[in-house]
Amino acid sequence: MSSYLRGSANYVWSTTSILGKGATATVHQGVNKVNGEPVAVKTFNHISTLRPQEVQIREFEVLRKVNHENIVKLLAIEEEQENRGKVIVMELCTGGSLFNILDDPENTYGLEESEFLLVLAHLYAGMKHLRDNNLVHRDLKPGNIMKFIKDDGTTVYKLTDFGAARELQDGQHFVSLYGTEEYLHPDMYERAVLRKHANKTFGATIDLWSIGVTLYHVATGNLPFRPYGGRRNKETMHHITTKKESGVISGIQTKENGPIEWKRELPVNCQLSVGLKKIVTPLLAGLLEADHHKIWSFDQFFGEVDAVLARKAVNIFHINKSTLIKVYIDPKESYRHLQEYIFEQTDINEENQILLYKTSLLTNLVEEYVNASGFPQTAETDPLFLFNKENNNVNIPPFQELPKFNDFSTVISVENDASQAKFACSIGHQAKRQVERFSLYSQLICDTVDNLTKYINGNLKDLHQQLQHLLEKCQIYRKTAQIFEMSQKISNYSLKSNSAAELDSISKDFTTTVAVGVHGLYKQHSVENNLRLQWDTMSRDLKCPSKTLAPARARTQVEHLRDSWQHLVRDRATRTLSYNDEQFHILERIKITQTINRVKNLLEVEVFPQYEALSENFGDWYKMAQNVHLKTEILASDVEKYENKLRDFGEKLSIDNVDFNDYIKNNFDSSKKTNVVKGRRNMKSQELKNILEGYKKESNHIKEVILENSKLIISVRECSDELKEKFLNID
């Protein structure tokens, strides 16, 4: 009886513990004999020995040449003790292959955004290292990209399987055929699969096509080019890849001999945001180019990916839709570019955009000339809030129905039941993501109410303080004007000005209308906090999904679905079931049906209606809030106009004062007067002196008030600069 264990000088592995299998080799899980470290061991079958010797040793040479974090690390090349064949010992990637990850029902529609960007970054880095060493892989696909989980829990994706790799300079070509047909460049597909044009040669850029297909697969969960019937429809596959126009990134045939559905955009149901799709789609279009005159170079690919990865994600909660959007902006771009990107996704003109970060206008925190690298750091749970000056309606997007789950067949089939259970898990994951998304949006609605209320109340508080200052200033000017007029009468000043009446004229409407309006709004909202109280009243009977732990409940239900699915997968592996096993199998099918109904009800009956009701109430509240905001802006404009008028009045009063002082100096010179006149003048001068002293005191008081206000303004500016500097340093 032969043993399942095999070994080399320093490693041992089990032939039944298979991690992956190809045409010429199998990868097993093994351990280091000395320290027990788990490893991956690649062994070669007899077919591999039929290859030329130089081809057999090429993989060893390539692995010895490369050394990079995003390429699976070579630990040793040893001889198997039993048959003396060479084995390759590599680090073990416990996360499995990217193909298996995409095959998981959680990723039916591709990886989530952050994981996609991680794959893109690591694939780019690994490929750049290969090209820096003049190497081509020639079999790039998700199955040859491994997920390595580091000790700190972070993920690193690594290229593996260099059996087809070889050294190839730019401009050099090769004739040998390698690769997996769904990921092959059309020219290589024509030779390798259709057996045509036997003398055609290929360059290093064939890897770029494979990267494009891989990235599309990672983004969507599906291959970009899919003929009806799959691999058996080879001619149609070749037709799709060679006849597509430039810019087309997918071609799908849904029925036999049917038309091809060409697409230039990524599908709606993939997990990437609109903002990321916008910059990834041109990248895919450039990679999936069969025309030799339009095909990208590696330098262009590396440059484009560099630009994508350098962009900064700005999370924005779009109030009018109650949804989250993402804008990817180059760190060197400015606030104006951010507005343009927002317009592309929302159709809100730049002049109508209001962006809040927490309770402050973004424009108060970021100057127009500041690069995006200086913008505040945002997250999905801590975004910017986007308002539209001209639109106070809130209309949420229509609900996206989940795929229909059909009941299990009355006839037990371990194969079909496992597939049906996997489909149920896929629906469960979609439902869970929607529950999480609507729960997040509901929480952001509440955050919007909180931040907008504080912003409006803060503006009213500042406006009220400004009003109080102007009213005090007006009183000082009024006293000064009255004293000034009395001085003019006593001195028989001929150029008398009616300053007090003029001040009353410019202040009448302000004190009777504007001041009353500011006082009223300030009392209602800054003091009594009416907007907040109105929201609390309107939303008292509403539930927020995040408060009812809906996301956690959805995750629990999906875990139950996955447990049942794995049970049916194990049943499929046994092929035949005993009577007892069959009864448990039936119970798992019942559990799956019940669980999928529960998670769908959680979404469709509980969470989405709660989000919908919350959005509807928020729409009503937002109209009131925007009305208060509009009134505040109108009053602020009136206050500013009055402040300008008061400033002009003060300047005119100062000029009149200078003229009057000159008159006093010129007309009350003692050397030109008689003693009699001097006596009468002394009496009037004493009276005038007393009045002027009072006037001087009032003037000094004005100066003190102005000085104090100047200090306050300087203090406010210093606080603003400090706040700006704080946000500029956050990145």
Q: State the average pLDDT over residues 215-231.
A: 94
Q: Is 70 exceeded by the pLDDT of residue 706?
A: no
Q: State the average pLDDT over residues 530-545.
A: 92
Q: What is residue 731's predicted lDDT score, i.e. its pLDDT?
A: 47
- The verdict on 593 and 717 lying in the same domain is no
Q: State the average pLDDT over residues 394-407.
A: 92
Q: Which of 409-418, 456-465, 520-529, 694-703 has the lowest mean pLDDT?
A: 694-703
Binned at pLDDT 50, 70 and 90, residue 194 comes out as confident
Domain membership of residue 79 as a residue range: 5-91
| 125 inside domain | yes
**CB-based burial label for 583 (10 Å; 0-12, 13-18, 19+):** exposed
For the chain, give the mean pLDDT.
88
Asked whether the beta carbons of 250 and 224 are under 8 A apart, the reply is yes
Q: What is residue 701's predicted lDDT score, i.e. its pLDDT?
A: 62
| 481 inside domain | no
Q: Select the more confidently predicted residue: 659 or 399.
A: 399
Asked whether the beta carbons of 177 and 148 are under 8 A apart, the reply is no
Backbone angles phi, psi at 697, to 5 degrees: -60, -45
- The verdict on 581 and 691 lying in the same domain is no
- In 3D space, the residue among 85, 70, 223 whose CA is nearest the CA of residue 150 turns out to be 70
| 679 inside domain | yes
Q: Is 50 exceeded by the pLDDT of residue 211?
A: yes
2-22 per-position pLDDT tens digit: 568 999 999 999 999 999 888
Q: Which residues are catalytic?
A: 139
| 656 inside domain | no
Domain boundary among 49, 74, 91: 91
- The verdict on 604 and 640 lying in the same domain is yes
Q: Is 70 exceeded by the pLDDT of residue 497?
A: no
Residue 10 DSSP one-character state: S
Residues contacting 559, CB < 8 A, separation 6+: none
Q: How many CB atoms lie within 10 A of CB 547?
A: 12
Q: State the average pLDDT over residues 680-703.
A: 58
| 442 inside domain | yes
CATH number at residue 130: 1.10.510.10
Residue 558 DSSP one-character state: H
Q: Is 90 exceeded by the pLDDT of residue 695?
A: no
Q: Which two tokens stand for residue 315?
A: 């999370």
CATH number at residue 32: 3.30.200.20
CATH number at residue 626: 1.20.1270.420
Binned at pLDDT 50, 70 and 90, residue 716 comes out as very low
Q: State the DSSP H helix or E strand holding residue 400, giving kind and residue range, or none if neither.
A: none
Domain boundary among 611, 632, 647: 647
Q: State the average pLDDT over residues 121-126.
A: 97
- In 3D space, the residue among 419, 676, 431 whose CA is nearest the CA of residue 569 turns out to be 419
- The verdict on 44 and 122 lying in the same domain is no
d(CA 510, CA 521): 15
Q: State the average pLDDT over residues 296-308.
A: 94
Asked whether the beta carbons of 655 and 661 are under 8 A apart, the reply is no
CATH number at residue 374: 3.10.20.90
Q: What is residue 293's predicted lDDT score, i.e. its pLDDT?
A: 78
- In 3D space, the residue among 410, 409, 417 whose CA is nearest the CA of residue 569 turns out to be 417
Asked whether the beta carbons of 363 and 721 are under 8 A apart, the reply is no
Sort residue 718 into left (φ over 0), alpha (ψ -120 to 50) or beta.
Answer: alpha
- In 3D space, the residue among 39, 37, 11 whose CA is nearest the CA of residue 27 turns out to be 39
**Is 473 part of any known ligand binding site?**
no
- In 3D space, the residue among 692, 635, 238 whose CA is nearest the CA of residue 464 turns out to be 635
d(CA 45, CA 322): 58
Q: What would you measure as the largest C-alpha separation in the chain, in angstroms?
A: 146
Domain boundary among 291, 307, 323: 307
Q: Select the more confidently predicted residue: 256 or 3.
A: 256
Q: How many CB atoms lie within 10 A of CB 386?
A: 22
Q: What is residue 367's predicted lDDT score, i.e. its pLDDT?
A: 83
Binned at pLDDT 50, 70 and 90, residue 166 comes out as confident
- The verdict on 418 and 367 lying in the same domain is no
- The verdict on 161 and 232 lying in the same domain is yes
Q: State the DSSP H helix or E strand holding residue 179, giving kind and residue range, or none if neither.
A: none
- The verdict on 76 and 175 lying in the same domain is no
Q: State the average pLDDT over residues 299-314.
A: 96
d(CA 383, CA 376): 10
- The verdict on 154 and 67 lying in the same domain is no
Q: Which two tokens stand for residue 173?
A: 């070509």
Q: Select the more confidently predicted residue: 158 or 698.
A: 158
Binned at pLDDT 50, 70 and 90, residue 52 comes out as low
**CB-based burial label for 195 (10 Å; 0-12, 13-18, 19+):** exposed
Percent of the chain beyond pLDDT 70?
87
Binned at pLDDT 50, 70 and 90, residue 673 comes out as very low
**pTM strictly above 0.95:** no
| 195 inside domain | yes
- The verdict on 259 and 141 lying in the same domain is yes
Q: State the average pLDDT over residues 198-213.
A: 80
Token pair 């002027």 in the structure block, residue: 692
344-380 per-position pLDDT tens digit: 999 999 999 999 999 999 999 988 788 999 999 999 9
| 111 inside domain | yes
Residue 600: alpha-carbon gap to chain centroid: 27
| 617 inside domain | yes
Number of domains in the chain: 5
Q: Select the more confidently predicted residue: 517 or 179.
A: 517
- The verdict on 187 and 236 lying in the same domain is yes
Percent of the chain beyond pLDDT 90?
66
- In 3D space, the residue among 305, 139, 304, 122 whose CA is nearest the CA of residue 206 turns out to be 139
- The verdict on 431 and 454 lying in the same domain is yes
Asked whether the beta carbons of 639 and 518 are under 8 A apart, the reply is yes
Q: Is 50 exceeded by the pLDDT of residue 676?
A: no
Q: Which two tokens stand for residue 567?
A: 């049970």
Q: Which of 248-262, 465-479, 648-662 has the lowest mean pLDDT?
A: 648-662
- The verdict on 241 and 123 lying in the same domain is yes
Per-residue b/e over 417-445, b at no fewer than 16 CB within 10 Å? bbebbbbbbbbbbbbbbbbbbbbbbbbbb
